[in-house]
Chain A
Amino acid sequence: MVELFFLPLLFLLTVGIATVAVMAGVGGGVLFTPLMLAFTGLDVNFVRAAGLALAMTDSVVGGRRYLKAGATKLNIVLFGSVALAVGSSVGAVLGVGIVKWFGVVGEAIVRIALGLLIMFVIYVMWKFRRKEGEIAKSSGSEWGRRLGLFGIFHDPALGKEVKYHARNVGYGFLCFFGVGFIAGMFGVGGGWAIVPTLHIVMGLPLKVSVGSSVASFVVGDMPGFWIYVNEGVVAPTLLAPVMLGPLIGATIGSKLALRVKTHVIRTAVLTVMAIASVNLIIRGLQQLGVI
């Protein structure tokens, strides 16, 4: 019976995920993919491709808002996109390959690895809590100047202009590559890692880091998504509700975010992610015949 209402239910679920994700300050993909792989019988490749498409849609919608508000600069977005593109390509090739070469064992490996990854994401998100008004001290580097990773933006909360200049560009590139790899391999976004990378490692202000992170994924995840498309493991029927959801959910979420207590939503989201990660590991172990 559920099958008949599957697509409308999926649409409502993605609207809900996008709404909650915006309020909790996480990407939709990091909730969607674990939930789908933990609690449904959908094909692993279909879910990962849909998760990647969801992260890209979030990026298209959210990135536009940040780019127009001047909260990020195209150079920073493109710098991140280069490393993300390389990482997502490698990750997608490996991700599709594991399932193709090892069959059910490959699917089990993906589920267990994703479960462990989500546990790590929860740890990072718990450890790194955003503080409004916090500005990173940045001395800037030569490569930051050469690539144009500097600028000024007007922070409405502080009511003044904030200057920034990126440092540790090489380390930042490596971190972006790693996040791209994870995105391509598992079909999850990587805002949970990109924001700390830009803010702590590269010394950019928090709001610029959030804006750059959101706007980077649409370009950075594109090569990885194309690999799923070329392998024929993208289900457009599944993508229709999954991609329409964020268009509505992100708008509702950004309006509700001002009225609700963010830490309550965030705790609820982390709890759901924890349940999903445990279930992913259990299902993976069941597929391997261990339990």
Chain B
Amino acid sequence: MTLEHRYADIVFTIALIGIFTIAAITVAEALAHPEDFAEKVRGIFNGTIKEDHTQARIGVYIFAIAPLFGLLYVISWSISRRETIMLVKAVIILIIIVLALTGFVKVHI
């Protein structure tokens, strides 16, 4: 297995977990509170709802963090491919700067 294989598998697996988490929680919410859910969907469809407070957000976080796990794996696995490490570090530093600037660290951790 090459580095590309492993990276692709890790990102795909974690992203898939995120997607199915979103779908599962959304279906569970729809079954648990059908009226509230229908009201929310109507609001989203009509553009009257501007924020969606649902537990399915955890799935969004998992999906959006998936590439970071892939990159961290690349760093831990490939010590010999220097230029790869340099690029991975650049991406990770960028992502951390973005998260810090947008207040993620302060608000969510």
B94 A86 Cβ-Cβ under 8 A: yes
> A105: which B residues are within 8 A, CB to CB?
none
A68:B98 contact, CB within 8 angstroms: no
| In the bound complex, CA of A41 to CA of B46 (Å) | 5
Q: How far is the CB of B26 from chain A (nearest CB, A)?
A: 4
Write out the residue numbers on chain B whose beta carbons fall within 8 Å of the beta carbon of A75: 81, 83-84, 87
Interface residues contributed by chain B, number (CB under 8 Å):
59
Binding site for B on A (CB under 8 A): 2-4, 6-7, 40-43, 45-46, 53, 56-57, 60-61, 63-64, 67-68, 70, 72-75, 78-79, 81-82, 85-86, 89, 93, 146-148, 215, 218-219, 222-223, 225-227, 229-240, 243-244, 247
Please tell me if the beta carbons of A218 and B66 are within 8 angstroms of each other in the complex: yes
Q: Which of B9, B44, B88 contacts A42 (CB 8 A)?
A: B44
Contacts of A56 in B (CB 8 A): 15, 63
- The answer to whether A239 and B84 have CB atoms under 8 Å apart is no
Whether A68 and B94, one on each chain, are in contact in the complex, defined by CB atoms closer than 8 angstroms, is: no
Complex Cα spacing A146 to B23, Å: 43
Q: How far apart are B5's CB and chain A's nearest CB, in angstroms?
A: 6
Q: How far is the CB of A223 from chain B (nearest CB, A)?
A: 4
Contact A81 B91 (CB under 8 A): yes
Contact residues, B38-91 vs A (CB, 8 A): 38, 40-42, 44-47, 49-52, 54, 56-57, 59-61, 63-64, 66-68, 70-71, 74, 81, 83-84, 86-88, 90-91
Determine whether the beta carbon of A82 is less than 8 Å from that of B63: no
Determine the chain B residues whose CB is within 8 A of the CB of A82 once the complex forms.
87, 90-91, 94
Write the nearest CB–CB distance from B97 to chain A, whole angstroms: 8
- Give the distance to chain B from A202, nearest Cβ to Cβ, in Å: 15
29 CB < 8 A contacts A-B: A3-B46, A42-B44, A42-B45, A43-B44, A46-B44, A56-B15, A63-B11, A64-B8, A64-B12, A68-B5, A74-B4, A78-B84, A78-B88, A85-B98, A89-B98, A146-B83, A147-B87, A218-B11, A229-B104, A230-B99, A230-B103, A231-B102, A233-B50, A233-B51, A236-B26, A240-B22, A240-B23, A243-B19, A243-B63
Q: Are B38 and A236 in contact (CB under 8 A)?
A: no
Distance in angstroms from A241 CB to nearest chain B CB is 8
Known contacts A3-B42, A57-B15, A68-B8: A78-B98 contact under CB 8 Å: no
Closest Cβ neighbor of A235 among chain B residues: B52
Q: Which residue of B lies closest to A4 (CB)?
A: B38
Contact in complex: A222, B67 (CB < 8 Å): yes
| Distance of A73 Cα from B15 Cα, bound (Å) | 21
- Give every chain B residue within 8 A of A72 (Cβ-Cβ): 4
Q: Are A41 and B91 also in contact (CB < 8 A) when A74-B3, A218-B66, A244-B23 are?
A: no
Contact partners of A78 in chain B: CB under 8 A: 84, 87-88, 90-91
**Residues on the B chain within 8 Å of A46, using CB:** 44, 52
Q: A63-B8, A244-B19 are in contact. Are A43 and B49 (CB under 8 A)?
A: yes
In the complex, which of the residues A41, A64, A225, A237 has the most CB atoms of chain B within 10 Å of its own CB atom?
A: A237
A60 B11 Cβ-Cβ under 8 A: yes
Could you say which residues of chain B place their CB within 8 Å of the CB of A232? 51
